[in-house]
Amino acid sequence: MTITVSRPSQDELQALGVYQWPIWSHEAASFPWHYDDRETCYILEGRVTVTPQEGPAVDFGAGDLVIFPAGLSCTWAIHEAVRKHYRFGDG
C-alpha cells in the first residue's frame, strides 16, 4: 500500500474542489491510525511523518496533496500542528 504525495497547482486544486472540503486540525502528537476508506488531503499547515505498518515512512507538509489508500494501517507523527482539507472516498 503506497502513500502518494504530490505538489498540485492551483488549477489542479480548483478542479478537485479542495477548498470546499472540510478542514481537520491537530496539534503535535503521535498516534496509530487505520484507513477504512481512501483519503485525499491537502495540507494547509504543518509537518507530518506517516509510517505504514509495512513500508517506508513518508514525510509531507504544507502545499502537499496526499492520498492514503483504503486498508492502510500506520502511525501519524505530527511534528508541527497540522491543518488540512480532506475527502474520503474516490470522488
**20-38, pLDDT tens digit by residue?**
999 999 999 999 999 999 9
Strand partners, 31: 76
How confident is residue 1, by pLDDT bands cut at 50, 70 and 90? confident
1/64 Cα distance (integer angstroms): 19
Q: pTM, whole model, 2 decimals?
A: 0.95
List, for residues 47-71, the tens digit of each pLDDT value.
999 999 999 999 999 999 999 999 9
Query: 4-88 falls under which CATH superfamily?
Result: Jelly Rolls (2.60.120.10)
The DSSP code for 18 is G
Nearest to 29 by CA among 71, 76, 74: 76
Phi, psi of 7 (to 5 degrees): -115, 90
Give residue limits of the domains in the chain: 4-88
Place of cell 503506497: 2
H/E element holding 49?
Answer: strand 39-52
